[in-house]
Amino acid sequence: MTPLANRRELAWGAGILLSLAALALLPLATRRDDVLNFVFLILLSITLAESWNMLAGYVGQVNLGHAAFFGLGALVARTLWSLGTPILLAMLAGAAAAAVFALPIGAAAFRLRGAYFAVGTLALGEILRTTVANVLPEISTLPTADIGTYRLSHR
């Protein structure tokens, strides 16, 4: 490697480490829930976008089922957290549940190519959404709106 390329890689590595340190210290710098929620949603969106980028960009397969795995992990994490599990442990369990669910599905889905893969993964997302909506309707439906008072939720 040339010295310039080596310096460029060191600069990238230092930038990534500084960014991670800033994110780790963010809860100490601000106690506002809306700021932390916003940053957390951005990080979740980046994670979802990067997973799609890896599959579509590097492998060349268009996967429309990412939302199914993402939603399953979020559902497991939310359920465990509402039962009193610490949030970090609940998030790790949600990620593990999504990974365990993805292994057999991925093994079967990666045998498909092109449009068949895209349609198969889209069907997976819809099957999971419909299953959750039918099995757990209390957490998968929106609250009914009251048109007379213009309330959108029951809070």
For 19-33, write each residue's pLDDT tens digit: 888 887 877 787 777
pLDDT at residue 9 in the model: 86
Is 60 exceeded by the pLDDT of residue 142?
no
User: Residue 30 phi/psi, 5° resolution?
Assistant: -135, 140
Q: Does residue 150 belong to any structural domain of this protein?
A: no
95, 72: one domain: yes
Q: Does residue 9 belong to any structural domain of this protein?
A: yes
Q: Does residue 23 belong to any structural domain of this protein?
A: yes
Alpha helices in the chain (DSSP H): 3-29, 33-53, 66-82, 87-109, 115-135, 137-140
CA 146 → CA 141, 149, 151, distances in Å?
15, 6, 5
6, 52: one domain: no
pTM beyond 0.85: the answer is no
pLDDT at residue 1 in the model: 64
Q: What whole-number distance in Å separates Cα of residue 89 and Cα of residue 26?
A: 20
127, 52: one domain: yes
Residue 87 pLDDT level (bands cut at 50, 70, 90):
confident
25, 38: one domain: no
Say which amino acid occupies 88. Answer: L
Q: Which of 96, 132, 94, 127 is nearest to 109 (CA)?
A: 127
58, 17: one domain: no
Is 90 exceeded by the pLDDT of residue 99?
yes
Number of domains in the chain: 2
87, 22: one domain: no
42, 55: one domain: yes
7, 51: one domain: no
Q: Does residue 85 belong to any structural domain of this protein?
A: yes
pLDDT in tens, 111-130: 888 889 889 888 988 898 88
pLDDT at residue 148 in the model: 58
Residue 61 pLDDT level (bands cut at 50, 70, 90):
confident
Is 70 exceeded by the pLDDT of residue 150?
no
pLDDT in tens, 29-51: 877 778 878 888 888 888 888 88
Task: Return mean pLDDT, the chain.
Answer: 82
Using DSSP, state whether 88 is helix, strand or coil.
helix
Residue 155 pLDDT level (bands cut at 50, 70, 90):
very low
Q: In sequence order, which residues have a C-beta less than 8 Å from that of residue 115 and are 6 or more positions away? A: none
Q: Does residue 154 belong to any structural domain of this protein?
A: no
Q: What whole-number distance in Å separates Cα of residue 50 and Cα of residue 10?
A: 22
Residue 100 pLDDT level (bands cut at 50, 70, 90):
very high
16, 40: one domain: no
Say which amino acid occupies 147. Answer: I
Q: What whole-number distance in Å separates Cα of residue 141 and Cα of residue 146?
A: 15
16, 67: one domain: no
Containing structural domain, residue 5: 1-30
21, 59: one domain: no
User: Is the Cβ–Cβ distance between 26 and 36 less than 8 Å?
Assistant: yes
10, 70: one domain: no
Q: Does residue 73 belong to any structural domain of this protein?
A: yes
Q: Does residue 147 belong to any structural domain of this protein?
A: no
